[in-house]
Amino acid sequence: NAGVTQTPKFRVLKTGQSMTLLCAQDMNHEYMYWYRQDPGMGLRLIHYSVGEGTTAKGEVPDGYNVSRLKKQNFLLGLESAAPSQTSVYFCASSYVEGAYEQYFGPGTRLTVT
Amino acid sequence: AQSVTQPDIHITVSEGASLELRCNYSYGATPYLFWYVQSPGQGLQLLLKYFSGDTLVQGIKGFEAEFKRSQSSFNLRKPSVHWSDAAEYFCAVGGVTGGGNKLTFGTGTQLKVEL
């Protein structure tokens, strides 16, 4: 099992450019999440999904969009990147019941200039 | 609203010394509590979790944590720290309310181990 994988690992964007981050999990998890990590602020939830075809806003959703067309994939889009979106982005997934913890991917480091 | 406070931003300990990282939470119902560790450039790895039952939980790498409801705390401990324990540690709280199994993370404690 690869667990949770993220593509790409690093990316540099210019202000106003767009991009999509891909998260994939092979654990048949129902729930998936996107976080951003900034120094001194811990992890903050951007968007999450409780199943294929569903998405919901987290704590800091502005400037981001997501899609969950397949159960195993969760995409995070930036339509018009801003320097404030420079961050490390983590994807996570979890089961619905029982094993409640979230499993994390290795992260994507995004720099917006 | 749920929240987590990790009052220590940085902690330095000598190798072989004991360690305690503090975590205080606020949650309106029975909390689910977690400790994660993050090595530089890596994702988060689960150290241990508390759902119910015994308030002293054992985790990987020799770590343990104790849930104290009266103090709203879930402190992480290790009796003898190894140099490889240097990393950032995050406490998180979640629960069955609100849907989506969402977690709220603390701001993290950076652990440095002196040889």
Q: Which of A45, A90, A96 sits opposite B102 (nearest CB)?
A: A45
Residue B112 has pLDDT above 70, yes or no: yes
CB-based contact B42 A58, cutoff 8 Å: no
- CA distance linking residue B12 with residue A72, whole number of Å: 40
Give the mean pLDDT of A18-28. Answer: 96
Residue B96 has pLDDT above 70, yes or no: no
Over residues B46-84, the pLDDT tens digits come to: 999 998 888 999 999 999 999 999 999 999 999 999 999
Q: Number of residue pairs across A and B with CB atoms under 8 Å? A: 51
Q: Which residue of B has its CA nearest to A105?
A: B43
- CA distance linking residue B83 with residue A57, whole number of Å: 39
Query: Which has the closest alpha carbon to A26: A51, A52, A58, A4?
Result: A4
Residues of B in contact with A43 (CB under 8 A): 44, 90, 105
Question: How close B46 gets to chain A, by Cα (Å)?
Answer: 8
Handedness of CA B5, B109, A24, A110 (dihedral sign): positive
pLDDT grade for A97, boundaries at 50, 70 and 90: low
What pLDDT score was predicted for residue B97?
59
SS3 call for B105:
strand
